[in-house]
Structure 1
Amino acid sequence: MTGVPEFREVAWRACDISNKKQQDKACSLLPEGIALLFEKDQTIDELTRVVEIKSGVISEQQKRIRILEEALRLSKIKRFAPSSEQSHQTSLFDEAENEVDGNEESEGADEALADENQASSTDTKKKPGRNPFSDKLPREQVFIRLTEAEKEGAIDTFFTKVKEELDIIPAKVRVLEYMQEKAVFVDRIDGEKQRRLTAAKMPGHPIVGAMGSISLMCFIIIAKYADGLPLYRQEGILSRYGGELSRATLANWVIALAKQLQPLINLMREHQQLGTVIQADETRVQVLKEPGRSASSDKYMWVTLGGPPGEKSILFEYDPSRSGEVPLRLLDGYGGYLQTDGYAGYNAACLKNGMTQLGCWDHARRYFKEAHNAQPKAKKGKNNKPSKAGKVLSLINKLYVIERGIKTLSVNEKYLQRQQKSIPVLNQLKAYLEDNRHKVPKDSLTGKAMTYLSNQWDKLNVYCSNGELNISNILAENAIRPFVIGRKAWLFSDTPAGAHASAVHYSLIETAKANGLEPYEYLKQVLTALPHADTVDKVEALLPWNIKKPGISE
C-alpha cells in the first residue's frame, strides 16, 4: 500500500509541473495577443475612417448629381417648353397651404386668390370678334353695280356697305429731278451792263450731296431698326424695284444721319433726368472692329427709360465696357430713383449721385420660377410635399396680385394699399427666407435664388415707399426687346461708328413709339426740319412731346 501515496505524490508533482509550463506559455503568448488585438483595433478604426470618408464623398457626389439633374431639367425646359414666366398661381397657393401648419397661411392664400379673382373681374373684357379698322385710315369706295338687265323695272337703287378690306400699295422707286429755277438780271455798274443770276433756294437736306431723298433714308432706318431688316436685304429690295444702291452707301447714310441727330439725343437725355424714376438695363452686342477688343468679345448696348409724366424717353447707348464707369457717365447729375436688375455696376453711380436704388421683383421671381420648374415631377398617387421654391414663388405672386388690383389707382392710393397689403406679405416672405435659406444647398437653383433674394432684399422693398414706383423693371426690358429681336436679323455691327448709329436710331424710334407717334412720320419731320434748326430752341421743338403728332393719312 505504500506505493499508492508515492504514486499520487508523483502525479501531483507532474500536474504542477505541467500547469507551470502552461502558465509560462500563456504568459509568453499574452503580449503577442494584446498586440494582435491592438493591431486589429487600429485596422477597424482605419477602415471606419475610410468608410466615413467614402460616405462623405458619396454624399457630396449625390448632391452634385441632384444639382446637375436639376440643371439638366432646367435646360430642357428652356429649350423645349414655352418661355412664359407666368406662374400657375392657384396650384402654387395650394402648395403653400399644404406645407404650413395652421390656418394663417391658408387664409393668406385664399385672400390672395380672392384678390386675384376680384382684380381680374374688374378688368374690361374685350368683346369677341375682329376689331374694326382705324377711322384714321384713308378710305376708297368700290362700287359693285347691278347690270342694266338686273335693275330693269326697279323703282329705285341704292348702295350699302357690306364689307371692308385692308389694302396696301406696294413701294415704288422713282427718281426726283430737282429743277432749280434761275432768274437773269441785267444791272448797270459804272455804265456797263452786267448779268446777275438769282437761283431758287434749295430745300435743306441732312446729308449734303446724298443721292437719296429724305423719304428713302427714313424708309431705310425704319426698315432696319423698327422692322429688323438688315441693309443687305434692303439692297436687294431696292435693286428689285430698279434702284441700284450699294450696301456701303446705305450704311454711310445711317452713320451720317446719326451724327446729325446726336444733338436731339443729348436734349432727350437731359430731359429724361427731370423725371422721378429711371429704369436701366443692358444687353450684349457684337462689334467686329472695336479697337483693342477681339471680334468675339462682349460689348454692350445700354438703355435707360424715364422722364416726366407724358414725356418719356427711351435712350440707347453703345459702350464696349460693362464697367461702372458707363452708368457714372450716363446718369451724371441725376439723383432720383434708379431701377435695375441688381447688377453691381450701378452701385458706384448710385453712391456718387445719391440715387435710391430700386430692385426688380421680376428677376427675383424668375430665379424661383426656374428652380420650381426644375424640380422632379411629382409622382402620381402620393402626397408630394411642395418645394421651397414653390412656396416662395406663391408669396411673390401674392405681391403681383396686389399690384394688378391697384394698377388703376392714384399714386397716394397705391402707396396706402401697398402699406396695408404688400408689407405683411413681404414680412412673411422674409421670415420664411431666414428659416429655410440654410436648409438648401447653396449651389442649387433654389439656393442661388434665395441668395439673390437675400442680397437684394432692401432694394426690392423700396417700391412700397412710393406709389409712383413699379414693382419690376419690365418696362426697361420691354424697351430693349426691339434691339434684341433686330440683333437676331443683322447679327452684329461692323464698326463702333455703326453701333453708335444704331443706338441713336433705336432711341428716336422707341421714344417716338412711347409718345404715341408713328416712327416713320416722326423721323421724316425731324430730318426735314433738322437742316434748318440752327438754335437750341429749334432743336427742342423737334422733341417727340413738342412736335405735332402727324396723322396717318398725311
Structure 2
Amino acid sequence: MTAAAKDLDLSVLPPEYRAAFEAQVARVAELEETNQRQEHLIAEMHHALYGKKSEKLNDDDRQLAFEGLEVALAEVEEKKSEQALGDDKFRCKKKIAKRNRGNLPEGLPRIEQVIEPDSLDCPCGCGAMHRIGEDRNERLDIVPAQCRVIVTIRPKYAGRTCTDSITQAPTPPWLIEGGLPTEGAIAHVLVSKYADHCPLYRQSQILGRSGIDIHRSTLADWTGVAGFHLAPVLDRLAEHLKTSTKLFMDETTAPVLDPRRGRTKTGYLWALARDDRAWGGGDPPGVVYFYAPGRHGTHAETFLTGFNGILQIDGYTGYNRLTKPSRKGGEPISVAYCWAHARRKLKEVFDRHGSEIAAEGLRRIADIYAIEKDIRGTSPGQRLSARQARSAPLVVAFGGWLQAQRLRISAQSRLGERSWPTSTATGTASRLS
C-alpha cells in the first residue's frame, strides 16, 4: 500500500468500496514490483552489452547470460500481460511477439487444422451462413526425434524335391557388421557430438529417457568406427582444398586428455579453410581441421604439403618457414597477412592508452577498408585494377609511416610490442603492383 493510501481513513467508506479500493492498491503494488523487476533485468542486459571490457564475458558465457536474461524478461512480460488481462477496466488484447514471425520455410510440411463454428445457422433466422473468407495462422510444431527399429528379414528358399539347393539374399553392407546401429543412427550421434556439442554421456541420458539403454562407451565405439571410415573423405577434402589458389590457416588451443598426468594437456587444432564467396569465387567453401600436439611451424609445413598458392594468416612467426626455398612439400608459399589482425593490435593500444600514433594507424587502415567497401561485388579484374590504382599507394605510404614511427617509440612499450612488421605493408604493395 502506498504512503498516500495509508493516510486515508478507510473506515468511513462503505464495505464494498473499501474492498475495491484495497484490491486496486494491491494491484498497483503488484504492477510496481513487476516493473522494477523488468527494469532490473534490462539494466543487467545493458551492462552485459556495454559494461567495462574487464567485466565482459567470453562469447559462450555471454550467450548463456543473454539466454537467461531473455527468459526472465519474457516471463516478466507474460506476467504483465496476464495482469492487464485480469483487469476488467483495462482489458486489452494480449501483445503478440513480432520476432521471427513469417520466416517458416516454404518446404516444411504443413498440417492444416480447420476449426469450424459450433453452428452455421444465422442468428437472424435467414438460414445457413456461407463462407466469405478465412484467417490463417502458422505456428512451428516440433516432433521429438523418433527412435525406431529397422528389422531386416532375409527369407530362405529351398527346392521342393531336393535338399541341396538353398538360396538367400546376402546381408546388405553395414558400417558396423552385426552391430546395433544403422548408418543414420551413427550420423545422428556424430552430428550431436561435433556440430551440436552434445557429449556422448548426455546422448546416452537422452536415449535413456526413451527406454533405450546404450552406454556412453558404446557410443564412443560407434564414433571411433565412423571416424576411421570417414578418414578417406577428410583426406580427399584436404587434397581438394590444397588445389586452391588461396587458403586461410589458423591454429587454436584444445584441451586433450592425458590420463597419466591426471589432468589435460594443451594440443592444437589447425584449421585450413577456403571461402571465396565474399569476392564471387566459383569454388564452394570448405574447411578441414588437423590436430597436432604443438604449435611449431613444422606442423603447418606438413599439413600444407602440396599447396603452392597464397596463404592468408595472422602474424605468427611459425609460418615463416613456409616462405623459404627450403620449404618441404612444395614451393615457397606467398603469405598474405590479415589486415584485421593488424588493426586489432592498434585498436587495443588505442582503447587502453589513447595513443595518437595508434589512432593515425587506424585512420590509415580505415582508408584502405573504404576502398574495399567501394569495390565489393565487382569482378576480380575490376577489384585488382582498383587496388593497384588506389590501394597500393596507401599501403606503400603506410609502410613508410610505420618505419618512421618505429624510430620514435621504444620496442619495450606496448605499442612497440604490437607494431606490425613494415615488411608486411611493403609485401602487400608489391603483390598489388
**Is the CA contact (8 Å cut-off) linking 1:269 and 1:315 kept in structure 2?**
yes
Q: 2:379 aligned with 1:403, yes or no?
A: no
Deviation of 1:253 after TM superposition, in Å, equals 0.9
Q: 2:47 aligned with 1:79, yes or no?
A: no
| Residue 135 to residue 311, structure 1, CA distance change in 2 (3 Å) | same
**Partner residue in 2 for 1:49:** none
**Is the CA contact (8 Å cut-off) linking 1:304 and 1:316 kept in structure 2?**
yes
Q: 2:317 aligned with 1:339, yes or no?
A: no
- Show the 5 A alignment for 1:36-51: none
**Partner residue in 2 for 1:311:** 284
| Secondary structure class of the residue paired with 2:340 | helix
Take 1:397 and 1:342, find their aligned partners in 2: how far apart are those partners? 20
Deviation of 1:185 after TM superposition, in Å, equals 2.9
Deviation of 1:414 after TM superposition, in Å, equals 0.6
Aligned residues: 331
**Partner residue in 1 for 2:158:** 184
Take 1:290 and 1:154, find their aligned partners in 2: how far apart are those partners? 79
The more displaced of 414-423 and 341-350 is: 341-350
Q: 2:254 aligned with 1:279, yes or no?
A: no
| Residue 298 to residue 461, structure 1, CA distance change in 2 (3 Å) | farther
Specify the code of the residue in structure 1 equivalent to 2:309. G
Specify the code of the residue in structure 2 equivalent to 1:133. L
Q: Mark the runs of 5 or more structure 2 residues left unpaired by the alignment.
A: 1-50, 60-98, 276-280
- What fraction of aligned residue pairs are identical, expressed as a percent? 28
1:443-465 deviation digits (Å, cap 9, x = unpaired): 33322222x34353345546635
- Show the 5 A alignment for 1:39-188: 78-81=53-56, 130-149=101-120, 153-157=127-131, 160-185=134-159
**Partner residue in 2 for 1:257:** 226
| Residue 396 to residue 463, structure 1, CA distance change in 2 (3 Å) | farther
**Is the CA contact (8 Å cut-off) linking 1:273 and 1:306 kept in structure 2?**
no
Take 1:428 and 1:457, find their aligned partners in 2: how far apart are those partners? 9
Q: Mark the runs of 5 or more structure 1 residues left unpaired by the alignment.
A: 1-75, 85-127, 188-192, 377-385, 466-554
Deviation of 1:440 after TM superposition, in Å, equals 2.5
Take 2:210 and 2:399, find their aligned partners in 1: how far apart are those partners? 63
- TM, length-normalised to structure 2: 0.69
| Correspondent of 2:293 among 315, 320, 323 | 320
- TM, length-normalised to structure 1: 0.55
| Secondary structure class of the residue paired with 2:252 | strand
- The structure whose residues are more often helix, as a share, is 1
| Correspondent of 1:454 among 409, 422, 429 | 422
1:512-533 deviation digits (Å, cap 9, x = unpaired): xxxxxxxxxxxxxxxxxxxxxx
Take 1:255 and 1:78, find their aligned partners in 2: how far apart are those partners? 42
| Residue 156 to residue 464, structure 1, CA distance change in 2 (3 Å) | farther
Specify the code of the residue in structure 1 equivalent to 2:205. G
Q: Which has the greater radius of gyration?
A: 1
Deviation of 1:158 after TM superposition, in Å, equals 5.5
| Residue 399 to residue 219, structure 1, CA distance change in 2 (3 Å) | same
| Secondary structure class of the residue paired with 1:144 | coil
1:224-266 deviation digits (Å, cap 9, x = unpaired): 1111111111111111121111111111111110110111112
| Residue 255 to residue 141, structure 1, CA distance change in 2 (3 Å) | same
**Is the CA contact (8 Å cut-off) linking 2:258 and 2:265 kept in structure 1?**
no
Q: 2:269 aligned with 1:301, yes or no?
A: yes
**Is the CA contact (8 Å cut-off) linking 1:360 and 1:460 kept in structure 2?**
no
Specify the code of the residue in structure 1 equivalent to 2:229. Q
**Is the CA contact (8 Å cut-off) linking 1:339 and 1:360 kept in structure 2?**
yes
Take 1:462 and 1:358, find their aligned partners in 2: how far apart are those partners? 12
**Is the CA contact (8 Å cut-off) linking 1:323 and 1:345 kept in structure 2?**
yes
Q: 2:400 aligned with 1:415, yes or no?
A: no
**Partner residue in 1 for 2:62:** none
Take 2:370 and 2:102, find their aligned partners in 1: how far apart are those partners? 29
**Is the CA contact (8 Å cut-off) linking 1:357 and 1:459 kept in structure 2?**
no
- Cα-Cα RMSD: 2.8
| Residue 326 to residue 185, structure 1, CA distance change in 2 (3 Å) | farther
**Is the CA contact (8 Å cut-off) linking 1:272 and 1:312 kept in structure 2?**
no
Take 1:200 and 1:145, find their aligned partners in 2: how far apart are those partners? 54
| Residue 222 to residue 463, structure 1, CA distance change in 2 (3 Å) | farther
Deviation of 1:270 after TM superposition, in Å, equals 1.6
The more displaced of 153-162 and 428-437 is: 153-162
1:46-92 deviation digits (Å, cap 9, x = unpaired): xxxxxxxxxxxxxxxxxxxxxxxxxxxxxx954325889xxxxxxxx
**Partner residue in 2 for 1:428:** 397
Deviation of 1:290 after TM superposition, in Å, equals 8.5
Q: Per chain length, whose mean CA-contact separation is higher, i.e. which structure has more relative contact order (CA < 8 Å, sep 6+)?
A: 1
| Residue 463 to residue 169, structure 1, CA distance change in 2 (3 Å) | farther
Deviation of 1:150 after TM superposition, in Å, equals 5.5
Take 2:179 and 2:427, find their aligned partners in 1: how far apart are those partners? 51
| Correspondent of 1:391 among 360, 364, 376 | 360
Take 2:377 and 2:128, find their aligned partners in 1: how far apart are those partners? 58
Take 1:129 and 1:257, find their aligned partners in 2: how far apart are those partners? 37
Specify the code of the residue in structure 2 equivalent to 1:361. W
